[in-house]
Structure 1
Amino acid sequence: MHIELYAFAVLSYAGVSSAWSPGNSYVPQNVSCASDIQLVREANGVSTNESDWLKKRRPIASKALRSFVERATKNFSDTSLIDKVFGSSDTDAPVVAIGASGGGYRAMLSGAGMVSAFDNRTDGANDHGLGGVLQGTTYLAGLSGGNWLTGTLAWNNWTSVQEIVDNTTADNSIWDISDSIINSGGVDIVSTSERWDHIFTAVDDKHDKFNTSLTDIWGRALSYNFFPSLYRGGVGYTWSTLRDADVFKNAEMPFPITVADGRYPGTKIVNLNSTVFEFNPFEMGSWDPSLRAFTDVKYLGTKASGGKPVSSGECVAGFDNVGFVMGTSSTLFNQFLLRINTTSISSVVKKLITHFLKELSDEEDDIAIYAPNPFYKTDYVYQNSTKGLVNSDDLFLVDGGEDDENIPLVPLLQKERGVDIIFALDNSADTELYWPDGASLTYTYDRQFGKQGKGQLAFPYVPDVETFVDEGLNQKPVFFGCDAGNLTDLAYTPPLVIYVPNAKHSYPSNQSTFKLSYSDKERLGMIRNGFEAATRNNLTDDSNFAGCVACAIMRRRQQSLNATFPKECQQCFSNYCWNGKTSSKATNFTQNNDFSSGAVSSTVVATASASSVSGSSSASVSSGSSSSGSRSSSGDAGTPVFSPRTVLSVMAVVVSAVGLF
């Protein structure tokens, strides 16, 4: 990835002022709305707004994706498949999605390098990477640190990682994290104190009218790093603002999604029973049967019953502050704000923060409060919805990785969205050395057999984490679900998944999730390494890798058409598709016994029934992690077997040991 400076492009928000917070502040305000407005709908398909947007995006994405495929396969012996796959209609083109995992600034920076490898705006991405795939992508999802990445790009007028890199040393540069979020001014105590005073004033003003939590403070603090050119880090900048930005209205960018989990104080989250929430530019809600409903994100904060405002024609706007939404997906980091006494910041700043936090209850340390609950008394929408979600005055959301599904795959697996291929960018810290071990994929696989996913989701077969590590599947890109014919036991044919794990190339990118400051050199090193991880080291490890990615992109369409694959694609799948091999200790899978065609048929069939898979498979993953000692208690996905107090204790040790601040 090349670094060349050029003038910083001034962000333009012309024509979007109407979507900002009505008072241009952090405090939500009453606004007029239609007297017959219905704020909640059943999740029986994508929204009308999303559907209309897709009609504009599909031809743009199709053209870009075809351009990438043609360039990547230009040396193939037979390229006639391209015309068949892309067909005569834009709706024939494969639907591509990217999911960026959580993992704090490590995930944001390493993920940025990976995303930049797909972006033809990145210097060298066309010749040494996968440039053009991002332009052909329809959905872009982020979780926790991954949503810091996707949110930064999307809500900065769809800026590029290249542009951010090129302006690293400029005033008000994006992702200037040379000093930690706690001590933002570094040696300038006055600057740090002033920023925290602004943050607390904004949150305090909101608290006068609405319930607030530590996430309000966390989200406000984060925003200064993501939107430095906006007044006080975008104090009045809302999530729904993106709807009216030309770059989104014209579908010149992918559809951004961020993920959080539902959680109530004192409860645990496990992968099979968590309610996964998504935020997109139009809506917030969940596809899961525990809710199966969405609400208009612009009018969050409106007191409603049964999806209708209690006061006819009166709604609330401005609750969907973009920093608050991005903070909601990363509430695990709220714990840092509670460890002030372990830091070396000035006594003035420490006293200021401690004074403001002292009345927060322990049970709400990691919770974002959405009050009033937009889904209050909406059980009529979906009769099987969980009563706790629809009968509570408040809705509580937490870090999207607390259920161990640290890559935001659930929104991308919805059959209604018709995704053909997902690039799963894994920058998790699963092992003791902060590398990923594929656990996010195994938990998502398990989910489809639990009560939240059974009949609702389909995800290709994957091995247990021990196999991921033993076979080196966590060190380079791997394809899962290559042969749709071997997936017929699932609810429907799932997308093919290209797993892209964080691995060391030119930089030690296995940084702690809780490292909150990076020098310019460290940031660039992380981003560069991410580019290399996604491109097989700038295509030097495999000069045919771009062509193999093109083969994977076409695979679902090729199989549905029963068309012949070029011989080069056959070789690619032998090289990159998981071959079905598992560790000798794995007990929940057995091989299909038919791998005669190579990895094109390399999937496995679960021997257990759906009910036993949801139990034994999960147990296998847990025992595998435990026996190998690879699962780190400081992993970014959270530790659902611990209480928030225990997590705090662990974090206190980590913070003290590495001197993060």
Structure 2
Amino acid sequence: MLLLFAVIALILNEAVAWSPTNSYAPGNVSCADDVNLVREASGLSANETAWLKKRDAYTKDALKSFLDRATENFTNSSFVDALWNSGKTPKLGVGCSGGGYRAMLSGAGMLSALDNRTSGADKHGLGGVLQSATYLAGLSGGNWLVGSLAWNNWTSVQDVIDNRGQDDELWDISNSILNPGGINIFSSASRWDQISDAVEAKQHAGFNTSLTDIWGRALSYNFFPTLYRGGEAYTWSTLRDADVFKNAEMPFPISVADGRYPGTEIIDLNSTLFEFNPFEMGSWDPSLNAFTDVKYLGTNVTNGTPVAKGQCVAGFDNTGFIMGTSSTLFNQFLLQLNTTSLSSFLKGIVEDFLDDLSDEYDDIAIYNPNPFRDTEFVASNYSHSVVDSSNLFLVDGGEDGENIPFVPLLQEDRDLDVIFALDNSADTEDYWPAGLSLIATYERQFGPQGKDFAFPYVPDVDTFVQHGLNSKPTFFGCEASNMTDLTRTPPLIVYMPNNRQSYNSNTSTFKMSYDSAQRMQMFQNGFEAVTRNNLTDDSGFAGCVACAIMKRKQESLNMTLPSECTQCFQDYCWDGKTASSSANVSTLGPASGSVSFVTDSATSTSSSSKKNGEPQMPQSHSMSWYVVFTTVLGVALGIM
């Protein structure tokens, strides 16, 4: 019987192994002698452009269906037909914030409210908006949400709910990632041995490894439970071959990470922001302005050309590794592992970081060789730090304070009319959002990295809290005529913050286990938070969302929206007023005041984060290592 199971496991492994080595280790593959793996970011890739043509056919029908349903009681519902007859279909994007498992679970509930595959979403929510979206971006915990749905054949949150209690249940995080077997210490030991073998294989293949390799492998068991060892050989680029993506039956998924310049520890709004999509990895920022084929990460190149002619590397783009790259902040948890119970290989890695690297490198993912090494077309008037380095260091996508992945969705070539921002950040001391991500992105557009996008005016943090903008959906940038001094008209932002409806969903970012009942409560509250409590607080909210979706096209076509939209914009658009009557909306930034704020990710991890020789959590978490340790201990013991 054991032999039979072994044979079945081997067959399954072969079936799902997309790395050329059939393992976590990358391997050599043949490629064209004249291949160049890097392109200038002068527009969308040919692959993305071709994919968009397919997606447009789906989103057009889905959006028409949603708008017809949402506006059926409007006095002038014929506006939707008039808009469609103009040939100008609004284009939607959705961004899912970071915030650990809180962001993943609450964000799942929010997404389910936009998904017509969810029971009751059409009647009590905003079902069909997700089907109408062209892009779906995630960051850190939000990336766990987007990645695990997309790379599980675009499964739905409803499927997750229906599959509760099964051996292959997605997001079964009843046990902490530190002790995945729970009280079964042998199961936990076996899991860590598997992780050790995988990461060691990558190192033996000649590639640098870091805590992010361990972290990504550990995460994958909960994100890809049907795959051999959590998708040990499952690659990011594999999605290109999945019918659901090839046929454009799902939104275009994007993951976000920040670059850290070689030799520095500073992450701020001038850091290079990287995106990963099924075709490419790279940055629109002027500090790089280049993309590379994500399938061939790990290839040693000069100016995009493989050093070994006709030979590339594949398998470096492990799905778990990329999802871990966007959430490296949580590498801190691995430093709490009891190293005496680990293999000698993992023990060595963890102890190295504990001994002398934790202050500088514990939150990085190492991409070596650097896929952009010696790229020649990077602007000469900007820093060459990224292209001059042999290593590319990437960190948690929220470490620059932009905890909602707006930037990929703001690119002019993607031409979005509206962005749904699902915010599960912990901006306040009690882990609720307060608009800090919007403020950071607004500020970024005025720095050297922001010359190619525009973002609407937003208020300071005191206004977000005192005016209740963080306690219900709010629209930003409603009137294009009020933003003529920006580089161009930005998309309208439908801001949907986490807020209490039926459950206290403001759980700690560092809470690393949720039982089945808690997961369901997080789902439910997320659904309610973005639907005005199942449309009971405002039965016309779906119609107001429809008005927001149509607004940009209405302005460009100089058409008249239905009269109900006027009331909607009065109810949901930020009116430009601030908590301080003297505030100037054109120069607003984070304000100091009576409210004390923290963020999910650090805006700076400078050398000052080390005190008395002991590593500290990023400053903006306002949590001591003692608190983190006791939190982890509580999670491991199942008491938190």
Deviation at 1:380, TM superposition (A): 2.5
SS in 1 for 2:215: helix
The one-letter code sitting in structure 2 at the alignment partner of 1:647 is M
The one-letter code sitting in structure 1 at the alignment partner of 2:123 is D
The one-letter code sitting in structure 2 at the alignment partner of 1:130 is L
Give 2:350's aligned residue.
357
| CA pair 139-471 structure 1, distance change in 2 beyond 3 A | same
Q: Residue 583 of structure 1: which of 579, 584, 593 is its match? A: 579
Give 1:206's aligned residue.
202
* Equivalence map 1:199-278=2 (5 Å): 199-208=195-204, 209-264=206-261, 267-278=264-275
Give 1:566's aligned residue.
562
Q: Does 1:647 align with 2:606?
A: no
| CA pair 200-351 structure 1, distance change in 2 beyond 3 A | closer
Give 2:502's aligned residue.
506
Compare 226-235 and 360-369 and name the one that shifted more.
360-369
| CA pair 458-516 structure 1, distance change in 2 beyond 3 A | same
SS in 2 for 1:315: strand
The one-letter code sitting in structure 1 at the alignment partner of 2:543 is G
Q: Does 1:487 align with 2:483?
A: yes
How far, CA to CA, are the matches of 2:175 and 2:581 in structure 1?
45
Deviation at 1:347, TM superposition (A): 5.6
How far, CA to CA, are the matches of 1:136 and 1:289 in structure 2?
31
SS in 2 for 1:139: strand
Q: Residue 159 of structure 1: which of 122, 142, 155 is its match? A: 155
Residues 329 and 395, structure 2, Cα contact 8 Å, conserved in 1: yes
Q: Residue 115 of structure 1: which of 111, 114, 119 is its match? A: 111
Give 1:68's aligned residue.
66
| CA pair 88-629 structure 1, distance change in 2 beyond 3 A | closer
Residue deviations 1:133-191 (CA, integer Å, cap 9, x gap): 00010000000000000001100000000101111211121100000001000000110
Give 1:46's aligned residue.
44
SS in 2 for 1:262: strand
Residue deviations 1:79-101 (CA, integer Å, cap 9, x gap): 12212322364xx2111000000
| CA pair 449-647 structure 1, distance change in 2 beyond 3 A | same
Deviation at 1:642, TM superposition (A): 4.9
Residue deviations 1:416-444 (CA, integer Å, cap 9, x gap): 10000000010000100000000000010
Residue deviations 1:372-396 (CA, integer Å, cap 9, x gap): 0000000325444531100100100
Give 1:322's aligned residue.
319
Q: Does 1:408 align with 2:405?
A: yes
* Equivalence map 1:29-108=2 (5 Å): 29-87=27-85, 89=87, 92-108=88-104
Give 1:554's aligned residue.
550
Q: Does 1:168 align with 2:164?
A: yes
Deviation at 1:485, TM superposition (A): 1.0
Give 1:638's aligned residue.
602
SS in 1 for 2:550: helix
| CA pair 181-413 structure 1, distance change in 2 beyond 3 A | same
Residues 419 and 491, structure 2, Cα contact 8 Å, conserved in 1: yes
Residues 239 and 245, structure 2, Cα contact 8 Å, conserved in 1: yes
How far, CA to CA, are the matches of 1:452 and 1:477 in structure 2?
29
Aligned length: 609
SS in 1 for 2:126: coil
SS in 2 for 1:272: coil
Residue deviations 1:252-278 (CA, integer Å, cap 9, x gap): 000000000001465344543111100
Deviation at 1:350, TM superposition (A): 9.3
Residue deviations 1:437-472 (CA, integer Å, cap 9, x gap): 000000100011011103x11000100111000101
Give 1:7's aligned residue.
none
SS in 1 for 2:28: strand
Residue deviations 1:331-357 (CA, integer Å, cap 9, x gap): 00001101225xxxx963598854441
The one-letter code sitting in structure 2 at the alignment partner of 1:30 is N
How far, CA to CA, are the matches of 2:228 and 2:418 in structure 1?
39
SS in 2 for 1:374: coil
Percentage of matched positions with identical amino acids = 63
The one-letter code sitting in structure 2 at the alignment partner of 1:213 is S
The one-letter code sitting in structure 1 at the alignment partner of 2:224 is F
How far, CA to CA, are the matches of 2:490 and 2:138 in structure 1?
20
Gapped regions of structure 2 (runs ≥ 5): 1-10, 610-614
Residues 64 and 135, structure 1, Cα contact 8 Å, conserved in 2: yes
Give the CA RMSD over aligned residues. 2.0
How far, CA to CA, are the matches of 1:544 and 1:27 in structure 2?
53
How far, CA to CA, are the matches of 1:211 and 1:473 in structure 2?
45
Give 1:457's aligned residue.
453
The one-letter code sitting in structure 1 at the alignment partner of 2:341 is V
| CA pair 586-217 structure 1, distance change in 2 beyond 3 A | farther
SS in 2 for 1:83: helix
SS in 1 for 2:107: helix
Residue deviations 1:525-573 (CA, integer Å, cap 9, x gap): 0010000001000000000000000010000001111001111011101
Q: TM-score, normalised by structure 2?
A: 0.92
Residue deviations 1:110-145 (CA, integer Å, cap 9, x gap): 000000000000000000000000001000000000
The one-letter code sitting in structure 1 at the alignment partner of 2:73 is N
Compare 579-588 and 194-203 and name the one that shifted more.
579-588
How far, CA to CA, are the matches of 1:401 and 1:444 in structure 2?
11
SS in 1 for 2:271: coil
How far, CA to CA, are the matches of 1:218 and 1:258 in structure 2?
16
| CA pair 555-269 structure 1, distance change in 2 beyond 3 A | farther
Residue deviations 1:456-495 (CA, integer Å, cap 9, x gap): 1100010011100010100000000001111111011100
| CA pair 641-374 structure 1, distance change in 2 beyond 3 A | closer
